[in-house]
Amino acid sequence: MSAPKVKYTKIFIDNNWVDARSGKTFDTYNPHDGSVIAKVAEGDKADIDLAVAAAKRAFHRNSEWRLMDAAERCKVINKFGDLLLRDAEYLAQLESYNNGMVLNFARHFIAMNVDHIRYIASLADKIQGDTIPARGDLFTYTLKQPIGVCGLILPWNGPIVMFTWKVCAALAAGCTVVVKPAEQTPLTALALAALLAEAGVPPGVVNVVPGFGPGAGSSLTHHPDVAKISFTGSVEVGKLIQQAAGASNLKRVTLELGGKSPLVIMDDADLNKAVPYAAQAIFSHQGQICIAASRLFVHSKIYDEFVKKAVEYAKTIKIGNPCEPTTQHGPQVDTEMMTKILGYIEKGKKEGAKLLAGGKRVGNTGCYIEPTVFADVTDDMTIAKEEIFGPVQSILKFDTLEEVIDRANNTNYGLAAGIFTNNVENVLQFSKHVEAGTVWVNTYMEFGPQAPFGGFKESGIGRENGINGVEAYLEVKTVAINMSKKL
Ligand code: NAI
Ligand code: MG
């Protein structure tokens, strides 16, 4: 595959491409070989101020966007879906090139994304309040109204998916947005901004400012005219964002912050299914997925057999250039993440976990790490406690469901959980008591745009997707009208 052409590298404000006020740019890389792909405009506070001002103008009550019929918003979002489909192959290649995502995976994500867009678009004209019986002759009803200008701060691990989830939900609700893509992967967000303009989104409704967290990101979270931040990324930055909201204007905050998700394999599970599911739950996208099943609890009766099969499976995964059609496992996003993951692998070995597959960097160029399997992992080890965000499967042993529920919940995270079993009692007990925003049974990592997604505990605040995801961009207003004849 020849390198996809990079069409956009500037800041997008009011449907125009502009340089950073400072004139600065930063390099963006290809994690396959570390080469520089392009220089991208580096937005900072001055650029965020301009973008927020544009979004504020576009949110004025007399603006084209605010006067647009909700059914028309639905058409515009759907048109964006059509354009995504038209450019799907180009966008998949650009995502793979800038992020290291395996091309087939990027294609699959984009196809799912189009369904997602259709669903969210269908909600745009179904935002409705209630009429409420109150005090006899007080006619009372609720309006659900867009919150205002929203700051959307994206992670690097799913640039297109994250852009689409957040932007489309905000647009369906009638908000205007300033997007800050991750510094590692700005290119697809810029390409999507161009598609939104082509779809008919009026100027100022969607603005995209590439840049770094402490500059552009922090300016957005402290901005007095930003009414809400939706963020996906680390717990550390999630906490900073809540602090910024508190220190500025109490802007609303939705946070999705990763996890240390438990996947439990009971002794009655079908191993021919459980082994490949468990592997994909941690090795997909090189482990760079917030819901990765990074604590794999296997029942003691089947432990040895499971571990043997898990190791065999990991060794079959084909590592290579993510743009090649047969590759299953590409590079980590950058050198920093690669080094961090290799550090966790060293800790795993030092703290006594048994390394049975992988464990090393592949070659000397690019950011490749072998799919790695550790057995005999115990709850107190660093690799069982901290989010690694890499291709490291940690297999722990347990004896009873009661025990494993307590151990699964013994973490500050609570994003996802899974169980493989054929016993309905196990399913009911586990799904009721595990502390997680999503629980999968005899499957893992399956999504639908209709289902709310988010975390318990430090895995986040609020939900994305489903009707809840659009509600997160709405304020409820109560209107009470005196109907009394005795005025
Ligand atoms: P990060 O949380 O620093 O970056 C995510 C986004 O936040 C980027 O757009 C970044 O520019 C922005 N950001 C950084 N500092 C900011 C600040 N002070 N104010 C506003 N925005 C700011 O995540 P990073 O450093 O890329 O990865 C660190 C760890 O976070 C990973 O090892 C992984 O454990 C976790 N992570 C979780 C993700 C998820 O899907 N929940 C996605 C990416 C990372
Ligand atoms: Mg960071």
Burial of 386 (0-12, 13-18, 19+ CB in 10 A): middle
Q: Is there a domain that residue 5 lies in?
A: no
Q: Judging by DSSP bridges, how do beta strands 25-29 and 36-41 pair with one another?
A: antiparallel
**Are 434 and 317 found together in one domain?**
yes
Rounded-to-integer distance, Cα 366 and Cα 348, Å: 23
In terms of domains, do 275 and 408 share one? yes
pTM of the model: 0.98
Tell me, yes or no, whether 357 lies in a domain.
yes
Same domain, 368 and 282: yes
| Ligand 1 lined by 294 (C-beta under 6 Å) | no
Q: What is the pLDDT of residues 170-218, one digit of tens each?
A: 999 999 999 999 999 999 999 999 999 999 999 999 999 999 999 999 9
Residue 1 lies in a domain: no
In the reported structure, the alpha carbon of residue 182 is separated from the centroid of ligand 1 by a whole-number distance in angstroms of 8
**Closest C-alpha to ligand 1, atom 42:** 233
Do 425 and 291 belong to one domain? yes
Calculate what percentage of the chain has a pLDDT beyond 90.
97
Q: Is 258 in the pocket of ligand 1 (CB under 6 A)?
A: yes
Among 257, 286, 313, the domain boundary falls at 257
Q: What's the 397 CA to ligand 2 centre distance in angstroms?
A: 33
Among all bound ligands, the one having the nearest atom to the CA of 333 is 1
Considering only CA atoms, which residue is closest to atom 15 of ligand 1? 213
pLDDT band at 447 (very low <50, low <70, confident <90, very high): confident
Q: Are residues 189 and 305 in the same domain?
A: no
CATH of the domain at 234: 3.40.605.10
Whether 425 and 296 share a structural domain:
yes
As a whole-number percent, the residues of the chain with pLDDT over 70 amount to 99
The pLDDT mean for the chain works out to 97
Q: pLDDT per residue over 291-318, tens digit each?
A: 999 999 999 999 999 999 999 999 999 9
User: Is 147 within a domain?
Assistant: yes
Looking at residues 400-417, what average pLDDT do you find?
98
| Active-site residue, 175 included | no
Tens of pLDDT, residues 367-395: 999 999 999 999 999 999 999 999 999 99
Same domain, 247 and 266: no
Q: What is the pLDDT of residue 164?
A: 98
Whether residue 1 has pLDDT greater than 80: no
Indicate whether 362 belongs to any domain. yes
Domain count along the chain: 2
Q: Examine the pLDDT at 7 and tell me if it is beyond 80.
A: yes
Q: Which CATH number does the domain housing residue 348 bear? A: 3.40.309.10
Given the residues 42, 95, 183, 256, the one annotated as active site: 256
Residues 427 and 286 in one domain: yes
pLDDT of residue 487: 63
323 is catalytic: no
Q: What is the extent of the structural domain holding 79?
A: 11-257
Question: Are residues 124 and 188 both part of a single domain?
Answer: yes
242 lies in the same domain as 274: no
Same domain, residue pair 313 and 202: no
Residue 46 and residue 227 in contact, taking contact as beta carbons nearer than 8 Å? no
Same domain for 133 and 105 = yes
Task: Judge whether 48 lies within some domain.
Answer: yes
Assess whether pLDDT exceeds 90 at residue 396.
Answer: yes
What band does 166 get if pLDDT is binned at 50, 70 and 90?
Answer: very high
Question: How far is ligand 2, taken at its centre, from the CA of residue 213, in Å?
Answer: 7
CA quadruple 378, 380, 383, 389: dihedral sign: positive
